[in-house]
Amino acid sequence: MPGIEMTIEPDLCGPISVGTVAVVRALMTHAGVALEAAVALVDRCTFGGERVTVPVPSSAGARALLDALRQLPAASRISAALYD
């Protein structure tokens, strides 16, 4: 199954990271990830410093997710790459 591997450099403002809501929405829209799972993935990236893998149902969806992440205001802090 295709997908995206990503890391996020946090922009912390107290106990939250600025700009991650748009990442959660992109995961939900393009990868079909449920809200709770999308938040958990983003939290692992921002607060855990992890590189996460996000499976996506199709190659087209994975490319759309990658494009969406590249267009976000926080794009400079997101490292994302396709995998098959």
What's the confidence (pLDDT) of residue 17? 75
Q: Is 56 left (phi over 0), alpha (psi -120 to 50) or beta?
A: beta
Note down pLDDT in tens along the chain; length 84 residues. Answer: 899 999 999 887 766 777 889 999 999 999 999 999 999 999 999 988 999 999 999 999 999 999 999 999 989 999 999 987
Alpha carbon distances (Å) from 46 to 59, 70, 84: 25, 17, 24
What is the total count of domains within the chain?
1
What CATH number did the domain enclosing 28 receive?
A: 3.30.1390
CB 4 within 8 A of CB 80: yes
What's the confidence (pLDDT) of residue 84? 78
Which domain, by its residues, includes 67? 3-83
> pTM, whole model, 2 decimals?
0.91
